[in-house]
């Protein structure tokens, strides 16, 4: 016999699946994603339809819904290649959204029935019963169905607008405070459990039912708030302080190096004049070699931007000293929209990252760095490329994980790069393909 709860389980699973995949739309998908989703939906709905109901009580009904939720999480791992905690986050968000919509509908419906003394004041609780579906349908009317759909659409729209948008606007879903997420899950579990106890309780007055709905809605709002702030704010503040300090040190370092380079160039200029004055004392070969050596230190890079000139000159000197071929084609004339400190940090970090990588090679032919900066129509394109060995591990933000032992004190270089790129409304793309590590950056000159 088909009961109301037998049908409601299917409706519950369908709503949960739909809401989950809406939240998870930006997660990284596995191959043949559409087929995987179809398979997960088919299996989940089938399990919901045929899950046995030997007992109609609060504890067993809660168990059934918990199993269906766990089935959703298992299916999500089959469809997406993300950390499981990301799946739990989207699953909990989906469950809370659906639960909030159901509670809002229950509150409105119960209030309407209570104030207008409708005979079917507790019709909504019949969804959890073992009554035949045909009997339930005789008590159902079009207003009931329209209200159900209308409330769900309204609640979903509000939740997606104020909560879902925060997820979709993030480049990656990163969960740094799992304890807060677990607390949200526990609150939701208690919420659902209390609701089940009340549903299967006796002598339930409508006023207490309405209070329960209000309580459940407040709990849902609280859960959304906690999930929105699931990132560890203390950790972020500390990280921002460290990044700011490092960038200030970088600015001071490059300014000091600029003064040193100017002094070196002045001395080289004086020495060259002295060499030419004494050419008759030495052979031409000796003077030629000495002149070439001086030119290495006298070759100041000129890109059209003073800060970029300082960085590239300093990096060119370092590369020449350590046998690194630094191929540079840079037009910095379009970088005037950037703060000086941002220029020092952005370009210094990406070139340092390349230098650190190629310095590991004994083979001089692999000590090569390609660097370019170009600008056109309000867009600045930056690229570095260099050889790399081994597999590069990326974190949830798409940044390479530092290979240094003390990870707490390293790895901030690329984080600083990402922060600057985001500041100017740009895009950062880091890839490893065929042994080449590439960093591509797009900056918008009006992005601040």
Residue 226 pLDDT exceeds 80: no
pLDDT at 408: 41
110 vs 346 pLDDT, higher one:
346
119 vs 66 pLDDT, higher one:
66
Under the banding of pLDDT at 50, 70 and 90, the label for residue 45 is: very high
Residues in the chain: 448
Average pLDDT, the chain: 75
pLDDT at 80: 93
Whole-angstrom distance, CA of residue 313 vs CA of residue 298: 10
Mean pLDDT of 272-285: 56
pLDDT at 367: 93
Under the banding of pLDDT at 50, 70 and 90, the label for residue 27 is: confident
Instruction: Kindly state the helix (H) or strand (E) to which residue 261 belongs, with its residue range.
Output: helix 233-277
Whether pTM exceeds 0.75: no
Residue 428 pLDDT exceeds 50: yes
Lowest-pLDDT choice from 3-7, 275-279, 367-371 = 275-279
Q: What is the pLDDT of residues 115-168, one digit of tens each?
A: 665 545 455 555 655 666 566 666 666 777 888 889 999 999 999 888 887 777
Whole-angstrom distance, CA of residue 440 vs CA of residue 382: 6
Query: Smallest Cα–Cα separation from 244: which of 348, 341, 347?
Result: 341
CB within 8 Å of 339: residues ≥ 6 apart:
none
310 vs 21 pLDDT, higher one:
21
Residue 166 CA: distances (Å) to CA of 12, 159, 233, 424: 25, 11, 16, 20
Q: What is the pLDDT of residues 288-327, one digit of tens each?
A: 555 555 555 445 567 888 888 888 887 887 888 888 999 9
Parallel, antiparallel, or unpaired: how do β-strands 325-330 and 368-376 relate? parallel
Contact 365, 413 (CB under 8 A): no
Tokens representing residue 45 in the block: 């709905």
197 vs 42 pLDDT, higher one:
42
pLDDT at 180: 58
308 vs 225 pLDDT, higher one:
308
Percent of the chain with pLDDT over 90: 19
Highest mean pLDDT among 158-172, 183-197, 402-416: 158-172
């Amino acid at each position: 016999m088909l009961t109301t709860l037998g049908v409601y389980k299917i409706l519950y699973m369908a709503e949960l699946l739909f809401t989950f995949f809406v939240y998870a739309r930006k997660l990284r998908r596995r191959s043949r994603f559409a087929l995987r989703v179809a398979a997960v939906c088919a299996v989940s709905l089938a399990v919901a339809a045929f899950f046995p109901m030997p007992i109609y009580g609060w504890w067993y009904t809660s168990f059934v819904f918990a199993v269906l939720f766990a089935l959703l999480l298992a299916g999500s791992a089959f469809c997406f290649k993300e950390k499981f905690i990301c799946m739990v986050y989207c699953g909990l968000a989906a469950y809370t959204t659906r639960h909030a919509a159901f509670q809002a509908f229950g509150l409105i419906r119960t209030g309407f029935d209570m104030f207008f003394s409708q005979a079917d004041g507790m019709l909504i609780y019949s969804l959890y019963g073992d009554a035949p579906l045909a009997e339930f349908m005789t008590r159902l009317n079009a207003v009931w169905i329209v209200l159900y759909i209308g409330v769900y659409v309204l609640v979903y729209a509000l939740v997606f607008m104020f909560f879902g948008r925060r997820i979709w606007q993030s480049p990656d879903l990163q969960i740094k405070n799992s304890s807060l997420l677990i607390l949200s899950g526990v609150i939701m579990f208690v919420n659902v459990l209390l609701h089940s106890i009340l549903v299967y309780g006796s002598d339930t007055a409508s006023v207490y039912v309405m209070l329960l709905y209000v309580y459940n809605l407040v709990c849902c709002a609280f859960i959304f708030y906690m999930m929105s702030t699931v990132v560890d704010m203390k950790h972020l503040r500390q990280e921002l302080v460290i990044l700011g300090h490092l960038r200030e040190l970088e600015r001071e370092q490059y300014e000091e190096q600029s003064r040193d380079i100017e002094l070196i160039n002045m001395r080289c200029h004086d020495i060259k004049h002295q060499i030419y004055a004494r050419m008759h004392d030495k052979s031409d070969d000796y003077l030629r070699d000495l002149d070439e050596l001086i030119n290495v230190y006298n070759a100041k890079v000129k890109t059209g931007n003073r800060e970029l000139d300082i960085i590239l000159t300093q990096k060119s000197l370092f590369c020449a000293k350590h046998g690194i071929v630094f191929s540079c084609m840079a037009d910095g004339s379009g970088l005037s929209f950037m703060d000086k400190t941002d220029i020092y940090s952005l370009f210094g970090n990406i070139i340092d990252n390349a230098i650190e990588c190629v310095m590991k090679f004994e083979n001089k032919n692999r000590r090569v760095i390609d660097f370019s900066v170009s600008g056109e129509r309000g867009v600045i394109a930056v690229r570095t490329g260099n050889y790399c060995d081994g597999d590069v591990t990326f974190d949830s933000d798409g940044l390479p994980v530092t290979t240094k032992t003390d990870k707490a004190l390293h790895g901030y270089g690329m984080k600083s790069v990402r922060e600057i790129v985001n500041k100017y409304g740009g895009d950062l793309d880091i890839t490893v393909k065929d042994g080449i590590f590439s960093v591509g950056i797009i900056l918008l000159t009006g992005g601040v």
